[in-house]
């Protein structure tokens, strides 16, 4: 199947309120352009350097999302252009984004990553850490970041009930916090293997790679 066909099939199955992030990590510019010409404008990458290289050479109306774990010392390489950072998991990182975005007089939109999986390998905060960050005086004084939602990744498992339980849990945290912090609008959860479960659980942003571009080859 061609990339544009995959893309159109997925898009036709997404509810209208769900935003599609096409995850193009490891894929060449030619693949991204095929999706671009089929109308896709939001692309997700998990390596800052790779994203910056692609940003330089591809059309400037692409919105680049950083979906991977962010090292503080690399924020400066994306501060000029990144449109949404999904994986913010500490106040320290948020402060660095604030600082680097300030250099470009930008406000960078950020999602706070919540740990919902059973594996300890996945990054993210727990509910207590989330509350502490949202209530912190420091974040109230920030002028160059907007916290616009939450993000989470389910356990990598074939057990759909487990995945559903984890997404339900994140949706509950999202709803609870949205009452006090109405600026939380985006709930980023769901990838190729589990996005249907995620949407049923209330996701409004899905990050889909291999179902659009095919399997990744890391060699
Ligand atoms: C790679 C990646 C995805 C996309 O994964 P697919 O299974 O290829 O859809 C989504 N989210 C994150 C954080 C990723 O790193």
pLDDT in tens, 165-211: 999 999 999 999 999 999 999 999 999 999 999 999 999 999 999 99
CA–centroid distance, residue 191 to ligand 1 (Å): 5
CB 1 within 8 A of CB 213: no
Nearest of 189, 193, 204 to residue 152 by alpha carbon: 189
Q: What is the CATH architecture of 3-213?
A: Alpha-Beta Barrel (3.20)
Confidence of residue 15 (pLDDT cuts 50, 70, 90): very high
Looking at residue 74, what DSSP letter applies?
A: G
Write the burial class of residue 14 (CB in 10 Å: 0-12 exposed, 13-18 middle, 19+ buried): middle
- Give the pLDDT of residue 1: 67
Tell me: pLDDT of 218 over 80. no
Beta bridge partners of 151: 113, 188
pLDDT digits (tens, 9 = 90+) for 202-212: 999 999 999 99
Tell the residue number behind the tokens 């291999």, with chain if given. Answer: 210
Answer yes or no: is the C-beta of 190 below 6 A from any ligand 1 atom. Answer: no
Mutate to test the pocket of ligand 1, among 124, 150, 194, 209 (most ligand atoms within 8 A of CB): 209
Mean pLDDT across the chain, nearest whole number?
96
Ligand 1 atom closest to residue 210's alpha carbon, by position in its atom list: 8
- Tokens coding 42: 């939001």
- Tokens coding 199: 């949407």
Ligand 1 atom closest to residue 21's alpha carbon, by position in its atom list: 10
């Amino acid at each position: 199947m061609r990339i544009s066909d995959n893309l159109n099939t997925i898009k036709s199955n997404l509810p209208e309120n769900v935003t599609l992030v096409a995850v193009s990590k490891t894929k060449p510019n030619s693949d991204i352009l095929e999706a671009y010409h089929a109308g896709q404008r939001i692309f997700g990458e998990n390596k800052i350097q790779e994203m910056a290289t692609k940003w330089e050479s591809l059309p400037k109306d692409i919105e680049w999302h950083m979906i991977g774990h962010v090292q503080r010392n690399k924020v400066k390489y994306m501060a000029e252009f990144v449109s949404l950072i999904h994986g913010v998991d500490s106040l320290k990182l948020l402060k660095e984004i604030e600082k680097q975005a300030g250099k470009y007089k930008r406000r960078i939109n950020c999602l706070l990553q919540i740990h919902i999986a059973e594996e300890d390998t996945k990054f993210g905060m727990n509910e207590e850490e989330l509350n502490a960050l949202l209530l912190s005086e420091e974040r109230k004084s920030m002028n160059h970041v907007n916290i616009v939602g939450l993000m989470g990744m389910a356990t990598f498992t074939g057990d759909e009930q487990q995945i559903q339980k984890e997404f339900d849990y994140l949706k509950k945290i999202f709803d609870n916090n949205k009452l006090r912090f109405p600026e939380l609008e985006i709930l980023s959860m769901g990838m190729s293997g589990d996005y249907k479960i995620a949407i049923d659980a209330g996701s409004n942003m899905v990050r889909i790679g291999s179902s659009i571009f095919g399997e990744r080859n890391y060699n």
